[in-house]
Amino acid sequence: MRRFRSLFFAAPVLAALVFAPVIVLAAPPAGHGRQAMPEIRPAFRPARAQAGGVMTVSADDPPLSSVLMKLAVNDPVHSKALLGQALLASPDLPPVYFRLAAADLKEFPGGLVSGFYYAVRGFESYARNWWWAMDLSGLAGVSLIASFFICLFVTVCLRLPRELPLLKHDIAERSRYFLLLLVPAVSAFFGPGLFLASVLLLLGIYFPRRDRILVLLVMLFAAFMPFVRGWVNGVYLVSNPQMRAIVGANEGIDNSLAVKALAGSGDFAGLFSYGLGLQRSGRPSQAIVAYSAAIERRKDPRAYVNLANCYMFFGEPGKADELYTKSLAIRPTAAAYFDLARLDRDSLDYEKAGALYRQAANLDPAGLSQAFMDREGKEGGRLLMDDTLGMADFYSIFDKTRRGAGQGASSVLLWSVLILWLAVFFYFGKGGRMRAFRCSRCGRILCDRCERQPYWGRMCGDCYQSLVKLEARDPKKRVARLLMIHGSQLRHGALVRALGFAPPGIAYIYGGSILKGALMLWGFLFFAVAAAANPLFTTGLGTGRHDWLGAVSAAVCGLLYILSFVGARRRQGRQWL
């Protein structure tokens, strides 16, 4: 039976080890599941030819990937082909990967490998898409905080009837212990979260040694709570129009918002993004003014590259060449090499252009491929590669916004209170200073003053005489005692089995396996809250929700429920709960 249980717990790990190389290394078969349909040319940024022969981006066209994803929903026959085109148009958009994964997994078992491939690539794309990554992190933070408070509240409610009488007994025996009630009284001024944590701390004094780890984990999370709360606040504060405009312009989502929202910007990121929006909206003369102002704030190579592209729009290759050279002198970028190579190619210096292309490919092969993809199928014009702000720049802006918003109460004061409470916990929890305990058979509360003689198994004198020292007790009283103990155990077992149908971990917490039960309940609540909050909490951008979260949450919650239900019944049958 132990081998079976070990195999049951090890099965998910073994499955991950087996499938991980296949998922990571496998590539979807060419043309897998693609139905024939009229060709749709992908374009990461819809472009059109403008004066001066330079290709610029239209701000009026909607993102092609959004259009294709909507068409895929309305056209099930060609949905996979449309999603494939959407993937080419927006290779950094997570929902496209997950919808392709869902479509392939429906063709089980034939689409299993390609479905997992798209799922893994979808998770990887979060690292390249600012808004989707921030939305997911904000959702995770909300779920973490909400599940923590719910789990803490449930644990306190379940254990309060068991441990509170012990505390009352000790206070009655030693009146000076009444000062322990100051712990929750003071904590109430810091909010309900710390109040519940302090109540758990007092109850945890009577927990078994291993389960006291839960108190330490709760205090540790409470210490980091200001940072988690500050991160969540920052996520939803940073979704202001200015930040949305900056990210939208640099990720090629929306140029019109940048033109409207960033007109009066005074920092580098705002001016740069404003210039980028103007440039891609076909207003290069105004973009030149914005890029020049951005360079006055910071001599950034990306601003020089885009400024040079604007001069190329007006047919001034000499001025553009000077700006490209300045950009490379500050820091080499793929866009500077690529655009300078196009300039050398126009002057018929193919050898130098080839060398510059290779340098651009070494720095950013994916960006170079996308630039050629944007050029594909368009007649006339010279396509130049714009430089943009990246994820590191977005995180820097986010960090400034988060720090400027503040975090409420001082973290130093909170940490001082937590350290003081931990000192109280270790002082009273170690060395037997809190003497009250329950009889392991009948549940009667006693301490060293109530029972001067310590009995084996932490039993009261009546239970000890009825179960161990038989000759010292009248037979009728002994039988009555045994029946009372048996009835109490039957009622306790029936309640534990009934609680096995409750959410995972509740039966464990009530039965005395507090640490394991709380961790089970916290994991279950985290995924349940995340799935429930998925359609509610959003940064305000994006073309959908985290579609994969519902399936993953259902699988994890279902697994935890089965493990808790089966484990609680088995442990109760052996009287371990």
Instruction: Please say if the pLDDT value at position 504 is more than 90.
Output: yes
Tell me what the mean pLDDT of segment 534-559 comes to.
78
Instruction: Please say if the pLDDT value at position 255 is more than 80.
Output: yes
Total-model pTM: 0.77
Distance, CA of 127 to CA of 93 (rounded, Å): 10
151 vs 392, higher pLDDT = 151
487 vs 49, higher pLDDT = 487
- Asked if residues 195 and 149 have their Cβ atoms less than 8 Å apart, the reply is no
For residue 302, what pLDDT is reported?
92
Instruction: Please say if the pLDDT value at position 497 is more than 70.
Output: yes
Instruction: Please say if the pLDDT value at position 437 is more than 90.
Output: no
Tell me what the mean pLDDT of segment 74-87 comes to.
85
Tell me what the mean pLDDT of segment 451-467 comes to.
72
For residue 517, what pLDDT is reported?
95
- Asked if residues 177 and 567 have their Cβ atoms less than 8 Å apart, the reply is no
Domain boundary assignment for the chain: 2-128, 132-236+410-573
pLDDT tens for 129-180 read 888 888 888 889 999 999 999 999 999 999 999 999 999 988 888 888 888 8
Tell me what the mean pLDDT of segment 77-100 comes to.
85
Tell me what the mean pLDDT of segment 226-240 comes to.
79
Instruction: Please say if the pLDDT value at position 309 is more than 60.
Output: yes
pLDDT tens for 328-372 read 999 998 888 888 888 888 777 788 888 888 888 888 777 777 666
Tell me what the mean pLDDT of segment 4-22 comes to.
39
431 vs 269, higher pLDDT = 269
pLDDT grade for 565, boundaries at 50, 70 and 90: very high
Instruction: Please say if the pLDDT value at position 63 is more than 70.
Output: no
Share of the chain above pLDDT 90, in %: 25
- Tell me how far apart the 2 most distant CA atoms of the chain are, in Å: 114
pLDDT grade for 452, boundaries at 50, 70 and 90: low
Distance, CA of 22 to CA of 31 (rounded, Å): 19
Instruction: Please say if the pLDDT value at position 256 is more than 50.
Output: yes
18 vs 266, higher pLDDT = 266
Contacts of 104-113 spanning 24+ positions with Cβ under 8 A: 104/28, 104/32, 104/33, 104/80, 107/33, 111/32, 111/33, 113/22, 113/23, 113/26, 113/28
Distance, CA of 17 to CA of 573 (rounded, Å): 34
Share of the chain above pLDDT 70, in %: 81
For residue 303, what pLDDT is reported?
93
Instruction: Please say if the pLDDT value at position 380 is more than 60.
Output: no
For residue 35, what pLDDT is reported?
38
Closest to 546 measured CA to CA, from 118, 108, 126, 3: 126
Q: Which of 135-139, 236-240, 401-405, 551-555 has the weakest average pLDDT?
A: 401-405
The rounded mean pLDDT for the chain is 79
pLDDT grade for 18, boundaries at 50, 70 and 90: very low
State which amino acid sits at residue 356. L
Instruction: Please say if the pLDDT value at position 10 is more than 50.
Output: no
- Asked if residues 160 and 116 have their Cβ atoms less than 8 Å apart, the reply is no
409 vs 441, higher pLDDT = 441
Tell me what the mean pLDDT of segment 522-533 comes to.
94
Q: Which of 46-55, 83-92, 287-296, 490-499 has the weakest average pLDDT?
A: 46-55
Phi then psi dihedrals of residue 286, to 5 deg: -70, -30
For residue 180, what pLDDT is reported?
87
